[in-house]
Structure 1
């Protein structure tokens, strides 16, 4: 590694000093030390902030559907995402209607776990929960049953966003919010989230406000005190349920699809809930969360059956009844998605793929390829699901597979979770054959706005699908994809297991790799050059010295956050263009968080001042500003500001015209000269400046460093103020574990391969 390309001149940047009391780099994680997960770590911080102001399931309604005008005909990316979300909600509604009978419980469970499972059995069976489980419950207050929508074909074109709440409903909610001391700006989102009768719902249960994204328990407590007066207390059953659901949503932001009861109750106690067990039991009784039991692994490493199942009844042995199980609590939304994903993947694994091309044809295609690409082609020839792992150079192998399948007459397509990955892989495909297979955005593929469309049965009209950047796939997108695939299709998931996981809950790619239910092809194609050597070392926990004769890697030491901002601007505006030959518009700055003295907000303000100064008359933006637009949670669309008018902020995102209404700008558009690593995942730029200020030390991990450094194609500058925290993170801080159910759900359905 070398030092900065040339000594910087002091007049090449404006120093942006941190303000007094500047928070840390992970300031806006949307979580805190009470989160039952990795609160405040880099993944959580970025996961929660990747889509600024975006909501979860309810929040999508609050921010994405409230206005009814934020997805005009021109906004194909936003409409595609909304359409995909509507399909997912309809699927979940159908699954809810199909659920019959109670969840099987383990005969040998005891204590809280047994109580929780007993509660679920009682609720699903329509019985009143036992008094010993729930104590003396108050008057029943069950939510209105969710309407079951009849299944219909997937849309072939994006539809307009659903109409927002009526103005009078918004005004009624605004009055309640004002009475409780809450910001009036929450009114449209709250009215859309709570639906008809939102005003009455808030008065009956003020803690319902906690369902609105961005509202925290202490804020909901203050709102409840203002409305309820002396009736408000920390032991209120309504508060316990609301905080329980909120914690499960926060866990989902950290990647978990469910939590162990002990972990959940411990965090409820930290949140001031006097009786955490009762709060969880009440939440289960109201149907706002579900309890599950999954079989733990047997000594041989294979997950066993859950105790109390029909197999145990047949065997009748005591040993069978004592098989250990794990009890988990989760939100129905993610539980059903994970179950649906497991069912769809098992269908692919257990079914023989279509006989598209003879065995000799496939073998001839494999023989014409080289190394791991040949292994990949042979595996895909005989299997419905194949996993492929490797770095950036390894993408040439799925590209070769797609072209070979296209030559055999298969309807072969590729999809990427984000537009950055789509464009990156599209360039690789086009370089091989412009008239070959194409790559689309996954949201557009599922919504029918991109790709082959759907057949008469509603399934995707294709024979082979390759999903690149598979580690970014969360359980909800994975479930919708699995349910959309026809019988006999071939699915290839390819990606680098060392990068940061998905912004949404689950670890689909990692769970499948661990489950061992399908062929896995590991590429032997290394990433070239000093950058490839550096990133490969980081992947195995080593941050070594790398020779960089062409100044491919530059280390820029800094003393504090103010100097980090100053030197970053110098690098982007002057040093890298002059010494490396990469212009500022092709250089991406990556930093651990949005907040802090050298987070994306401060860096973007400094970079805008140098690269595109202006008054920022429209929400802080001017024509020519580099931005990222987040039309839905976890979606990051890079683009430029074109203009602003009465309709909103006009953006150009990947060649598409996007109009963001005025009321949505603050919550869904950020400047994009500096991104977090999660926002940058899937992209690749000629030059990257990774900014690691001293206050970012706690946010660093091996996956973060691997992801950020791996976004550079030609040059990487590291503005380093964390000193030994960087090699420590690479060597000692792996990816945070995520609690998921996918391996246990797959185990009874498919055999382990190999």
Structure 2
């Protein structure tokens, strides 16, 4: 094996206490470099990586790809197994594995969305949903042949786990009617002034209805809320003008007035008093469950699914399933082939692959699965390809039907350039078609991808963009020079000055840099402001100190200052730490809850994995460059800080660790990796480092595989708390991780069990997990994935990298895992050169989102907030 930097080739570095030939030799930084004597741990230096927003956290090495062979109505019935939230994400990742992409975990807030109505109308005329919405074209250049143009596949869609970051949005528009409908073709004159006035009036009426809808909603709109076809078209027309996808002249006789900066006091719709990101399971009665059970049994599906189906579909679930058996796909964990088998059993000969109900359900399922991997939207071409793999005879017609029904929304306001599909030699053929037009079309905008999305994520992103714009423009600059001069570091002083003059500020840095926003909050309180620090987890709350709250606790009202009469949080300055862990729904709920004039500071380490839920809020805010960005110059100290900093820069650096801060434990296979992990946690780390087993956390790549969390937790339970698992697989004193909602992780210990459920001590809080929720929300917690561990730290961490985890590694994963340890890091290392390759060459997996483009369109024209400090 080739050793890591810090270990001689062919010479294994030892664990903290093992010595002798059976345990390997010390790595560089050990005795030969002035470290401890033989028998103590040497300083190895594994490498690690920067942030990956779509990296698979729950990969099972034996995963099959159910899409590879497609699915159709002849597939088998539903197989009933309790699927946890984490397993849903893992299942999605496994299915995507054969297509060469990676994924992440979970998601969920609700979505106002827009799209160019012309794209939808054109799609109807052209016989397909377009791939690209063109900009203005030179006279006579618009294509008018239906189906013309090429589809460029992209990892950004529902069928590609990694997303589509890092490429341009190349490719030719498909279909000439698209150019006509988009209003960009010079050969299109419009429909006359009277039609323009009528459409303008309709748009104005729709704007008022949209604002009323936002003001009246008590919380995030539940998934499944649908717009009518007409409303969707009108909403699309509004967004086409607002986003610039269509020129105003396509609708108006005169150009629309430019957007004006918001006044100091911006009108704000009524906000929910207790916003709750993500739709909660519906409460249903026993009669509903019984009715669903009857339908499931008649369709050959396990009756054990009844409660979950009722929770998703509501009181009329039984009737809904009889009318549309494919609605079973809305239940997490159900696969298309299972829903097809269920539909065939209920419908008999009427079950056909081209059934519109099947197509609509598949489109929704594909987009929900994309959201599990972090995407808030997917390219239409990618969705069509996925529908074809699932035996839909006419994917274009299926998409048209789904759009008309309101099951999916169409956007043509562009995506983050980094998330656009990569141009290949084949997609370059489209550029070849455009080459002769380069001179004629000089200055014309780039065609933007046509995206499909669910309304809940669309509303979340648009609401978030509007809210951030409101905050950025509603703050009056102040002079906090005295507070800045008193700051402990130059970075802290810079942050104080930025917050004094701006309503929205981004701050980047590692663990030590967390003290800078904390100092800002203290300074703001000294100025008489209501200032609050919010973090991702209870673990982070303890690390931050007195007065910190969790984001979820702040939103629920359980923590923090409470709300004013308008329903807004009673704060003047909010500093959100762990900002990379904010998903788009939580971020939207948080920003909507802030009053006008409140200053918002988003702070975090851009190198860590992105949120478990959909979106990449912090990365999009940084990429949009619409607010000051303060980069901390306060490094994390010691060998661990040096190692992690190197990983963030894309290299494995040699570190000296005389205090045994970093140790490499080489292994040959997964079985040995499990054995050495148990040995480290139970004996080596407590004895050599002085950190007890209860304060040592194991981190591995995924849940499945021979050294995933399941295998490691089984071995660690056998060592630390053997028992029969009397209570749903758990025993008192078992170490567990509790996930009551997507993206929310609490570590704890099982206390007891009773009639009401399992009693768990979650970091000092008593929690009762209902019996029917144990299987889906509770796991053993001696070993976690890096996504579960994000936002938390422990005194000692053991990172397990057996040989079968190579496909799950990238820089962000390594960076996140290695930076979880405060005093000590042991790396059980069996991936050889895959680790330095992951650190040096594998970037974060992309997510397809709209937030960056929305922020740019809203804030950059204003000028004042556009340039970073």
Q: Shorter-chain TM-score: which interval?
A: 0.7 to 0.9
| Partner residue of 1:479 out of 565, 588, 597 | 588
1:334 maps to 2:457: yes
1:587 maps to 2:696: yes
3-state DSSP of counterpart to 1:413:
strand
Residue matched to 2:466: 343
1:268 maps to 2:279: no
The 2-side partners of 1:651 and 1:32 are apart by: 30
Deviations 1:654-684 (A, max 9, x none): 2111101111111111111100001100111
Deviations 1:458-502 (A, max 9, x none): 111011100000001111111111111111111100000000001
Residue matched to 1:753: 867
Q: How do 1:169-568 residues align onto structure 2 when only pairs under 5 Å count?
A: 169-295=288-414, 324-353=447-476, 359=479, 361-426=480-545, 430=546, 438-568=547-677
The 2-side partners of 1:718 and 1:283 are apart by: 49
Residue matched to 1:304: none
1:30 maps to 2:139: no
| Partner residue of 2:230 out of 100, 109, 123 | 123
3-state DSSP of counterpart to 2:773:
helix
- Indicate conservation of the 8 Å contact 2:283/2:314, yes or no: no
Name the stretch that deviates more: 394-403 or 346-355: 346-355
- Indicate conservation of the 8 Å contact 1:385/1:491, yes or no: yes
C-alpha distance 353-611 of structure 1, shift in aligned 2 (>3 A): farther
- The Cα of 1:352 is off from its aligned counterpart by 2.4
Unmatched runs of 5 consecutive residues or more in structure 1: 12-20, 49-55, 58-87, 130-149, 302-316, 431-437
| Partner residue of 1:607 out of 712, 716, 721 | 716
- The Cα of 1:351 is off from its aligned counterpart by 2.2
1:622 maps to 2:731: yes
The 1-side partners of 2:357 and 2:371 are apart by: 21
- Indicate conservation of the 8 Å contact 2:700/2:709, yes or no: yes
TM-score (normalizing by structure 2)? 0.70
C-alpha distance 33-640 of structure 1, shift in aligned 2 (>3 A): closer
C-alpha distance 558-221 of structure 1, shift in aligned 2 (>3 A): same
- The Cα of 1:324 is off from its aligned counterpart by 3.0
The 2-side partners of 1:252 and 1:100 are apart by: 19
Residue matched to 2:273: 154
3-state DSSP of counterpart to 2:673:
helix
Count of residues in Structure 1 that have an aligned counterpart in Structure 2 = 645
The 2-side partners of 1:565 and 1:162 are apart by: 37
The 1-side partners of 2:415 and 2:672 are apart by: 51
3-state DSSP of counterpart to 2:859:
coil
Residue matched to 1:307: none
C-alpha distance 456-100 of structure 1, shift in aligned 2 (>3 A): farther
- The Cα of 1:363 is off from its aligned counterpart by 3.4
C-alpha distance 583-32 of structure 1, shift in aligned 2 (>3 A): closer
3-state DSSP of counterpart to 1:31:
helix
The 1-side partners of 2:542 and 2:271 are apart by: 32
- Indicate conservation of the 8 Å contact 2:272/2:593, yes or no: no
Greater helix content: 1
| Partner residue of 2:707 out of 594, 598, 602 | 598
The 2-side partners of 1:733 and 1:321 are apart by: 34
The 2-side partners of 1:452 and 1:240 are apart by: 47
1:5 maps to 2:16: yes
- Indicate conservation of the 8 Å contact 1:592/1:700, yes or no: yes
- Indicate conservation of the 8 Å contact 2:115/2:412, yes or no: no
C-alpha distance 322-500 of structure 1, shift in aligned 2 (>3 A): closer
The 2-side partners of 1:743 and 1:103 are apart by: 23
3-state DSSP of counterpart to 2:727:
coil
C-alpha distance 163-283 of structure 1, shift in aligned 2 (>3 A): closer
The 2-side partners of 1:720 and 1:24 are apart by: 23
- Indicate conservation of the 8 Å contact 2:228/2:404, yes or no: no
Residue matched to 2:285: 166
The 1-side partners of 2:503 and 2:385 are apart by: 43
- The Cα of 1:449 is off from its aligned counterpart by 1.4
- The Cα of 1:353 is off from its aligned counterpart by 3.7
Residue matched to 2:792: 683
3-state DSSP of counterpart to 2:378:
coil
Residue matched to 2:206: none
C-alpha distance 288-703 of structure 1, shift in aligned 2 (>3 A): same
TM-score (normalizing by structure 1)? 0.80
- The Cα of 1:250 is off from its aligned counterpart by 1.0
- The Cα of 1:35 is off from its aligned counterpart by 4.4
3-state DSSP of counterpart to 2:766:
strand
Residue matched to 1:51: none
- Indicate conservation of the 8 Å contact 2:580/2:617, yes or no: yes
C-alpha distance 286-469 of structure 1, shift in aligned 2 (>3 A): same
3-state DSSP of counterpart to 1:582:
coil
> Cα RMSD (Å) of the superposition?
3.2
- Indicate conservation of the 8 Å contact 2:508/2:606, yes or no: yes
The 1-side partners of 2:347 and 2:384 are apart by: 26
Unmatched runs of 5 consecutive residues or more in structure 2: 1-5, 7-12, 24-59, 65-85, 121-132, 137-141, 148-173, 183-226, 237-268, 421-439, 861-865
Deviations 1:587-625 (A, max 9, x none): 000001111111111111111111112221101111111
Residue matched to 1:641: 750
C-alpha distance 232-121 of structure 1, shift in aligned 2 (>3 A): closer
- Indicate conservation of the 8 Å contact 2:411/2:451, yes or no: yes
